[in-house]
């Protein structure tokens, strides 16, 4: 099995430290690693997920896709229990193979079990189609996060 074919994946809870290599290389390349230490990373109610290959590549210690989830209410949504998704990143060598979607579906099931009402994120403009495919909807205008790119709020009610 080559590097471009991870086969089946396991989604696991990881600690925030395990998200840092991908967060840093994918989301803030060339910036100090501190820029990907997010507020709430160590909050007991936050959680972090990683996608790991099964089979012959199972010894790989580094996730091929990561994302983090924080209890955080967005003022424009009325739902009482909301989580924010941050740090969604897939290793470029494994993009378009379903890792990001599998990881988010796992998260949505987990949030449902926790009786969370809504998941939202500040989606990078070029990632909007990815979130749409998973059922997220857009809210409000595009806005700039300085030194990053245009973003738009996206959300998915958890039913």
Ligand X SMILES: CC(C)(COP(=O)(O)OP(=O)(O)OC[C@H]1O[C@@H](n2cnc3c(N)ncnc32)[C@H](O)[C@@H]1OP(=O)(O)O)[C@@H](O)C(=O)NCCC(=O)NCCS
Specify which residues 26 forms β-bridges with.
Answer: none
Taking the complex as a whole, the smallest distance from the CB of residue 124 to ligand X amounts, in Å, to: 4
Q: Which residue is nearest to ligand X (CB)?
A: 100
Taking the complex as a whole, the smallest distance from the CB of residue 107 to ligand X amounts, in Å, to: 13
Taking the complex as a whole, the smallest distance from the CB of residue 115 to ligand X amounts, in Å, to: 25
Which residues of the shown chain bind ligand X in the complex (CB under 6 A)? 26-27, 65, 88-90, 95-101, 123-124, 126-127, 129-130, 133
Q: 29 vs 115, which CB is nearer to ligand X? A: 29
Q: 64 vs 116, which CB is nearer to ligand X? A: 64
Q: 78 vs 132, which CB is nearer to ligand X? A: 132
Q: Do 29 and 36 contact (CB within 8 A), yes or no? A: no
Residue 46: helix, strand or coil by DSSP?
coil
Q: 68 vs 90, which CB is nearer to ligand X? A: 90
Alpha-carbon distance of 142 to 104, in angstroms, equals 23
How many C-beta atoms lie closer than 10 Å to residue 136's C-beta?
21
In our burial notation (b when 16+ CB lie closer than 10 A, e otherwise), range 4-18 reads eebeebebeebebeb
């Amino acid at each position: 099995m080559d590097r471009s074919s991870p086969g089946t994946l396991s989604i696991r809870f990881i600690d925030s430290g395990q998200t840092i290599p991908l967060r840093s290389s994918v989301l803030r390349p060339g910036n100090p690693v501190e820029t990907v230490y997010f507020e709430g990373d160590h909050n007991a109610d936050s959680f972090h997920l990683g996608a790991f290959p099964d089979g012959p590549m199972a010894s790989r210690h580094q996730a091929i896709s990561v994302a983090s989830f924080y209890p955080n209410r967005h003022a424009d949504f009325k739902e009482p229990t909301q989580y924010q998704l941050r740090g969604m990143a897939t290793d470029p060598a494994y993009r378009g193979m379903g890792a990001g979607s599998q990881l988010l579906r796992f998260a949505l099931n987990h949030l449902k079990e926790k009786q969370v009402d809504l998941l939202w994120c500040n989606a990078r403009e070029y990632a909007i189609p990815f979130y749409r495919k998973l059922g997220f909807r857009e809210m409000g205008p595009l806005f700039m996060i300085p030194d990053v790119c245009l973003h738009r709020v996206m959300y998915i009610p958890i039913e």
